[in-house]
Copies of this chain bind each other. A is one copy, B any other.
Amino acid sequence: MPWKKSFDEDAVLEKAMQVFWSKGFDSASMANLIEETGINRGSLYNAFGGKQALFVKTLLKYDRENRKATLARLEALDEPCQAINDFFDSIVASTVADTERKGCFLFNTVLECGSHDEEVNAIVVNGLREIEGFFRRCIEVGQARGEIRQDIEPESKAKALLALALSIRVLGRGAYTKSALYSIAAEAKQLIK
């Protein structure tokens, strides 16, 4: 008896994600979201509930399709040093290619919403932990295989790598030049040498 939706929910989420990603939660207005997604105001509220709920959905989508997917791919390499190098090559490449200067949606959200929302904070903190965990596991496996020095402390080294990755993405949004980002990435790789 009901009625099929006239739009593809996931396609709308994708569009909305682009808006939140490039403008941030606060600066993205419902008017922006309506214009970019192409669907009507009421439909948006009906389908997703509101700005906050829509944002969470787009953030989860990003976390699933970008962060998790990337880490899974790198971890599947089963080559720890290569995985870490690839990670940094990848984020520098993304940043350099990012003419819109959007940065990383996850990192941007840490910075903007870190303090003032419980649910969002839980998602991004979990994301950070998992990236850190990826680094830690890479180091541990590399040590077990004799490819990484034993006197490196996986926990704290992993945190430092995450910190450098975050800075590359953040400074890449206008403050730093390409070559500076390459320098930082090179230092990051050097950390586990």
- Which among B121, B157, B171, B176 is the interface contact of A174 at CB below 8 angstroms? B121
Copies of this chain, tallied across the complex = 2
From A1-9, A60-68, A107-115, A137-145, the one touching the partner chain is A107-115
CB-contacts of A33-87 with B (<8 A): none
CA distance A184 to B153 in the complex (A): 12
Residues of chain A at interface, number, CB under 8 A:
36
Residue A178, interface by CB 8 Å: no
- Which among B101, B111, B128, B171 is the interface contact of A115 at CB below 8 angstroms? B101
Closest beta carbon of chain B to A12's beta carbon, Å: 26
Chain B residues whose CB sits within 8 angstroms of the CB of A159 once the complex forms: 176, 180, 183-184, 187
